[in-house]
């Protein structure tokens, strides 16, 4: 009896990271970086990349693209600050992304699904992710920092971050996700946590130290 796509997908859903598989936003790597190769965190024209993503975006199963460096998963990566402190999250040892378990992260955000795109720009997607990931009471201003790309490990090879700095008027912020915990720390304290951070956060910390 021939297997249907749904039955095959059902099996994949059961084994992928211990969670349900999903289709996420990706762009071919050679298209995303056709005009310039980015290593680290670099300021760019976000409007240009927005148009490129809108034109070439695809929604593919995460279980497939996690192992395919030909595609880049587009990740809004939002850094929250208040009163010269930064919100740092720690992924617990039961987090679904096993490669980042117990790591500290400055980035609030995640994968983009088709139903998430209710606004027309990356900044809007980032704000949506922020409201989904954390509980925050207060207002804020948001500005782009740049594109973050790091090919030094398996996680970075299949993800590219669009990084924003969100400056809040309140320190009343906490993580919604039960697999994470969070706290506000100074930039010096970020430096003390540096060796326990995921690679993207290390790059952001270096950038912040240069800029602030």
pLDDT tens, residue by residue, 92-109: 665 455 555 578 999 998
Domain covering 19-211 in this structure, CATH number: 3.90.79.10
Tokens of 119: 């606004």
User: What's the confidence (pLDDT) of residue 1?
Assistant: 45
* pLDDT mean by block of 10 residues, the chain; 212 residues: 47 53 96 94 93 94 95 96 95 57 85 82 86 93 95 94 96 86 94 93 95 80
User: What's the confidence (pLDDT) of residue 152?
Assistant: 93
User: What's the confidence (pLDDT) of residue 20?
Assistant: 78
User: Could you count the other beta carbons within 10 Å of the beta carbon of residue 108?
Assistant: 26
Radius of gyration in angstroms for the set of CA atoms belonging to the chain, rounded to a whole number: 17
Q: Taking a C-beta distance cutoff of 8 angstroms, is the pair 124, 212 a contact?
A: no
Identify the H or E element spanning 8. helix 5-15
Q: Tell me the CA distances in angstroms from 78 to 35, 83, 166, one per residue in order.
A: 25, 17, 7
How far apart CA 182 and CA 177 sit, in angstroms, is 10
pLDDT tens, residue by residue, 23-44: 999 999 999 999 899 999 999 9
How far apart CA 209 and CA 212 sit, in angstroms, is 6
Tokens of 118: 């209710």
Every domain of the chain and the residues it spans? 19-211
3-state secondary structure (DSSP) of residue 129:
helix
């Amino acid at each position: 009896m021939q297997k249907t796509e749904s039955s095959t997908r059902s099996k994949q859903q059961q084994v992928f990271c211990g969670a349900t598989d999903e289709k996420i936003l990706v762009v071919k790597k050679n298209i995303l970086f056709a005009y310039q190769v980015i290593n680290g965190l670099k300021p760019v024209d976000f409007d240009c990349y927005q148009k490129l993503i809108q034109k070439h975006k695809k929604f593919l199963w995460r279980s497939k693209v996690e192992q395919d460096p030909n595609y880049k998963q587009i990740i809004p990566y939002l850094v929250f600050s208040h009163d010269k402190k930064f919100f740092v999250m720690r992924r617990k040892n039961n987090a679904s992304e096993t490669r980042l378990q117990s790591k500290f992260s400055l980035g609030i955000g995640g994968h983009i699904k088709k139903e998430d795109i209710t606004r027309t720009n990356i900044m809007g997607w980032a704000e949506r992710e922020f409201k989904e990931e954390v509980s925050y009471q207060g207002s804020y201003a948001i500005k782009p920092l740049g594109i973050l790309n790091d090919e030094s490990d398996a996680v970075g090879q299949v993800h590219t971050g669009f990084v924003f700095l969100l400056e809040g008027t309140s320190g009343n912020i906490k993580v919604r996700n039960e697999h994470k915990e969070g706290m506000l720390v100074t930039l010096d304290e970020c430096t003390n946590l540096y060796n326990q951070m995921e690679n993207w956060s290390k790059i952001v910390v270096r950038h912040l130290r240069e800029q602030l």
